[in-house]
Structure 1
Amino acid sequence: MRARPLCVRAGTGEEGAGEHLLAAVADSRARPLIDSTLSFDTAAEAAQRLRSHQEHGKIILTVP
């Protein structure tokens, strides 16, 4: 398996863009969009949201 360039792994397709994205994340200038935070007990609900494409960001599962 060959290593893909960072720009491809970052999803930008432009050379050097991945480094800018990683720097923005490291500096807290870019933050993930959180759709919801659910208890681990409701993981089935979270999975259903993902399967039905109802989420608009990351779904966080908390562990007690």
Structure 2
Amino acid sequence: MTGYSAHGDERIRAEWAAWQRSAPVEFPHVIVDGIGRAPRALHDVLTGRYLGAVLVSAH
């Protein structure tokens, strides 16, 4: 597998910049309330229940 960078391609960089301005980039995440729910949150991450980041709130 080879990575890709548009750093050297001005045409592609302009296209990507326009795409980024057209809509905000959203990162999927879930916030789980309570440190006591952390073990279940970890289980849910490992079994594929959540997509993206899972944050556990300590309060």
Superposition TM-score, scaled by structure 1 size: 0.49
1:45 aligns with 2:40: yes
User: Aligned-pair distance for 1:42?
Assistant: 0.3
Name segments (4+ residues, structure 1) moved above 2 Å. none
Superposition TM-score, scaled by structure 2 size: 0.52
1:60 aligns with 2:55: yes
User: Aligned-pair distance for 1:32?
Assistant: 1.5
Structure 2 spans left out of the alignment, 5+ residues: 8-15
- What's the % identity of the aligned pairs? 9
Aligned length: 45
User: Aligned-pair distance for 1:30?
Assistant: 2.2
Structure showing greater radius of gyration is 2
With a CA cutoff of 8 Å and minimum separation of 6, indicate the structure with the bigger relative contact order.
2
